[in-house]
Structure 1
């Protein structure tokens, strides 16, 4: 029986598509070259582990003079990369809570970026528990982050239903006995919540 539902945030509740944003501000050919030369997602992992947001981005920018200004946009344009919200997913979150079911987040998110995002997305303040990698010092899909959720919440893996858009994150949770759902859109997630008996069709609409 599911006792709590766990949401990833990026690409589940908020779209997170940095490449798409860069394609708006620079030629796609240049964007591809930059992402090929600079491990920007690796840079973001540093932030998600608790690294200082602005300092990390600006330090990386100095290592790659050709792309300095564009890399700095990872900080300056961040909210434009982390948008828009996925409205039905937010409705599902609120519907579960209206049923009295605890809803947690489990997200790879920096300390500074999460604080910043809360100014734009008030629902980020509404989780019953927010498990944010930057504060935890560990990121998905490392096993320790799932263990920390179990320890802090008091729930065993089989008590939790977790959705995430990345198969590696889902696989790691599954190994700990969590119930999982690979998020490919709010429609499928809604159907899963109905199938689990957590929401009615009307509540999941």
Structure 2
């Protein structure tokens, strides 16, 4: 079935994958209570998503927690985190395939550090996306206007459908004329897309 839709853009974390990503399992792996771990994890995330080196980010997180991780441990933590953020939640692959098999161009637009971007690119589920926009490659993060401008430049239009789980990201996209939607689940997305 062909659909007459503009390009469809998906966020990754909280849309295609679980909203918590690696936070809960990683805190368990490290033996640090989730509530204590989550605060420094998110506090320093924006610069990491802009492309700062993994070792810089994880050393800041460790310092806030009052611990020290050697470089090999940081590598292990970072890889675990990247893989958790890149594991599709149930039903997402079917949704992606439904859109792509209807002849609609699709793209990823994610605030993501280099390790997560690499894992996402290598994942079989991402192979059918027309474009993959990662903040680490662009040096800008949602909801900053520059990251949306990069998508518009690539597609040559503001007529885009976008799903994201964070209201500021959706609001910024709507301000640019995108058909942007807060992610509330697969049934709502299918209704928007006419699937």
Q: Normalised by the size of structure 1, how large is the TM-score?
A: 0.79
Question: Quick check: 110-119 or 43-52, which moved more?
Answer: 110-119
Structure 1 equivalent of residue 12 of structure 2: 9
Structure 2 equivalent of residue 174 of structure 1: 174
Counterpart mapping for 1:44-123 below 5 A = 44-53=45-54, 55-61=55-61, 63-64=63-64, 66-69=66-69, 72=74, 74-79=77-82, 81-82=84-85, 84-119=87-122, 121-123=123-125
Alignment RMSD (CA, Å):
2.6
Q: Which runs of 4+ in 1 moved over 3 A?
A: 22-28, 71-74
How has the CA–CA distance of structure 1 residues 131 and 118 changed in structure 2, closer, same or farther, with 3 Å as cutoff? closer
Contact 2:78 2:115 in 1 (8 A): no
Contact 1:34 1:67 in 2 (8 A): no
**1:16 positional shift:** 4.2
Aligned residue pairs total: 188
Q: Normalised by the size of structure 2, how large is the TM-score?
A: 0.82
Structure 2 equivalent of residue 191 of structure 1: 191
Unaligned runs of 5+ residues in structure 1 are: 200-205
Unaligned runs of 5+ residues in structure 2 are: none
**1:20 positional shift:** 2.1
Structure 1 equivalent of residue 137 of structure 2: 135
Contact 1:161 1:179 in 2 (8 A): yes
**1:118 positional shift:** 3.6
